[in-house]
Amino acid sequence: MANQSQLGFQDASSPIMEELVEFHDHALMVALAICSLVLYLLTLMLAEKLSSNTVDAQEVELIWTILPAIVLILLALPSLQILYMMDEIDEPDLTLKAIGHQWYWAYEYTDFKDLTFDSYMIPTTELPPGHFRLLEVDHRIVIPMESSIRIIITANDVLHSWAVPSLGVKTDAIPGRLNQTSFITTRPGIFYGQCSEICGANHSYMPIVVESTPLTHFEHWSTLLSS
């Protein structure tokens, strides 16, 4: 959960998000090295008068042509690897279907016979003490931790977007189309997200709450809800 003075990402709770955070740090270090080099060269040019031999040197032209290509390769390779990892969906242990409505989410556990529910934001006047305003819902998604979860996302009316930052998941919900993504939670906890596509007047009132629990707790919860 993000706090008021937080500058970085939320704590990663899935392998994909861990990779995204590492790539972010890697890209920042490359950007820092480039900025330091440019600042050093600007300082050198202001402090010393460079000779014409230095300015016209073919070695310098060769360096400033090859060096950016190397930098792009250092950024592209891990980026492509993460893109392929995010797109790859193995045999899932559990499949969910999320349907975006104005302005709530409906969920279906397709591996169970009658396990469906709507998830509405809890109004501020009805919010229990200690819960987060505009982020808490009346029915949370409950999933088993350390299990491969596939979620199929669509919409019933307008464009929506199902996004949970700490899980590294953000997928558009498009009417008449099924998009899918997958994730694995590495620890138990409650993870918050919101609709990330402007979908109308109450766009900011479509929170997403994912509760990651041990498998035994999930089995007990699913039995109670489907009975």
For 78-96, the pLDDT digits (tens) are 899 888 888 887 788 999 9
- The angle formed by the CA atoms of residues 38, 39 and 41, to the nearest 5 degrees, is 65
Predicted pLDDT of residue 100: 93
Give the model's confidence band at 50: pLDDT under 50 very low, under 70 low, under 90 confident, else very high. low
Residue 29 domain-assigned?
yes
Q: 103: cis peptide before it, omega within 30°?
A: yes
Q: What is the average pLDDT value for the chain, to the nearest integer?
A: 88
Based on its alpha-carbon atoms, the radius of gyration of the chain, rounded to whole angstroms, reads 24
Average pLDDT over residues 146-150: 91
Closest alpha carbon to 154 in 111, 186, 110, 122: 110
Give the residue-averaged pLDDT of 128-144. 91
Residue 58 lies in a domain: yes
208 in the same domain as 185: yes
Residue 205 DSSP class: G
Q: Which of 50, 69, 87 is the last residue of a domain?
A: 87
pLDDT band at 210 (very low <50, low <70, confident <90, very high): very high
- How many of the other CB atoms lie within 10 Å of CB of 6? 9
> What domain range is 153 assigned to?
94-226
Please state the rounded mean pLDDT for residues 119-128.
91
What's the burial of 37, exposed, middle or buried (CB within 10 Å: 0-12/13-18/19+)? exposed
Give the chain's domain count: 2
